Amino acid sequence: MPYQVVPGENGDAWVEANSEKFSPSQVSSFTLRKLKEDAESFLGDTVDQAVITVPAYFNDAQRQATKDAGKIAGLEVLRIINEPTAAALAYGFDKKNNGTIAVYDLGGGTFDVSILEIGDGVFEVKSTNGDTFLGGEDFDHRIIDYLADEFKKDNAIDLRSDKLALQRLKEAAEKAKMELSSSMQTEVNLPFVTADQSGPKHLNIKLTRAKLEALVEDLVTRTVEPCKAALKDAGLSAGEVDEVIMVGGMTRMPKIIETVQISLEGAT
């Protein structure tokens, strides 16, 4: 759905789509309402309360806006907690010994790393850093461009100018990325991806893990400095981190795991 970011009445950013304007809280509420409906469908019961997680760097206004989104979605927001704290809880760190952990979170659209100190079941975020313009989609785009460029060399057709072909490329790129986390090579096969005067065209390209790592090397490197900055802000060296929690689909990529081990050397 096409949309535009437009100024709101109070000078804040709103979203305009289908000739309607929505506040950030309203946009967030759409997601929360869908999650509420999915939970109710799965549980067969009414869901009217929630604990919502937010990035550790959210300020008070952003946290309040998130609460407002929950209210709009029909939820009583019991608590707003930091995402790295939620990750630590999910891994049972509230029941483990005291210590220092790093949460490395590389999701679909953003990257952040947080240093937490745990003591007597209390979580304290010591520092947080990241890159709000780095995520799995950036890795996908590198694969898409590579596949499109290779196809163009052989067929003189740019698949990126064909919406249907581009969508198939996106799906294939994500699938290939996932497969290369456990395999050294995969094959991207898209029959009848497009056509010209000579007839239908098919895409069949082999992609190796080594090639993928070369394509995204700079993206992986961009996660290193935030790790160093988070450690510095927390007044720690890498060897003082007891454990690392890796969150997000991209952290399954072997090169990411290797980079984290180097950046947070001494952690496990």
Residue ranges of the chain assigned to CATH 3.90.640.10: 136-215
DSSP 77-110: EEEEEEHHHHHHHHTTGGGS-SEEEEEEEE-SS-
pLDDT at residue 266, as a whole number: 52
Phi, psi of 229, rounded to the nearest 5 degrees: -65, -40
Measure the CA–CA gap between 158 and 193, rounded to whole angstroms: 11
Reduce the DSSP state of residue 65 to 3 states and report it. Answer: helix
Model confidence at 254, pLDDT cuts 50, 70, 90, reads: very high
pLDDT at residue 231, as a whole number: 96
Whether pLDDT at 56 is above 60: yes
Least confident residue range of 61-65, 87-91, 167-171, 249-253: 87-91
Measure the CA–CA gap between 145 and 261, rounded to whole angstroms: 29
Model confidence at 8, pLDDT cuts 50, 70, 90, reads: confident
Measure the CA–CA gap between 82 and 114, rounded to whole angstroms: 10
Q: Superfamily for 4-82?
A: ATPase, nucleotide binding domain (3.30.420.40)
DSSP class of residue 181? T
Q: Mean pLDDT for the chain?
A: 94
Average pLDDT, stretch 204-215? Answer: 98
> pLDDT > 90: what percent of the chain?
85
Whether pLDDT at 251 is above 70: yes
CB atoms within 10 A of CB 58: 17
CB atoms within 10 A of CB 229: 15
Least confident residue range of 19-23, 100-104, 262-266: 262-266
Average pLDDT, stretch 242-257? Answer: 95
- Secondary structure of the chain: what % helix, strand, coil (to 5)? 45, 30, 25
Distances (CA, A) of 241 to 206, 211, 224: 39, 32, 15
pLDDT at residue 147, as a whole number: 98
E-assigned strands of the chain? 4-7, 13-17, 20-22, 49-54, 76-82, 99-106, 111-119, 122-131, 185-196, 199-208, 243-247
pLDDT at residue 128, as a whole number: 94
Measure the CA–CA gap between 50 and 67, rounded to whole angstroms: 10
Whether pLDDT at 265 is above 80: no
Whether pLDDT at 93 is above 70: yes
Q: Superfamily for 91-134+222-263?
A: ATPase, nucleotide binding domain (3.30.420.40)
Residue ranges of the chain assigned to CATH 3.30.420.40: 4-82, 91-134+222-263
Average pLDDT, stretch 162-186? Answer: 97
Is domain 136-215 in CATH 3.90.640.10, yes or no? yes
pLDDT in tens, 109-140: 999 999 999 988 889 999 999 999 999 999 99
Looking at per-residue confidence, does 196 or 93 come out higher?
196
pLDDT at residue 268, as a whole number: 47
Q: 97: phi > 0 → left, psi -120 to 50 → alpha, else beta; which?
A: beta
DSSP 139-157: HHHHHHHHHHHHHHHHHS-
Average pLDDT, stretch 36-41? Answer: 98
pLDDT at residue 96, as a whole number: 75
Structure token pair of residue 211: 């090639």
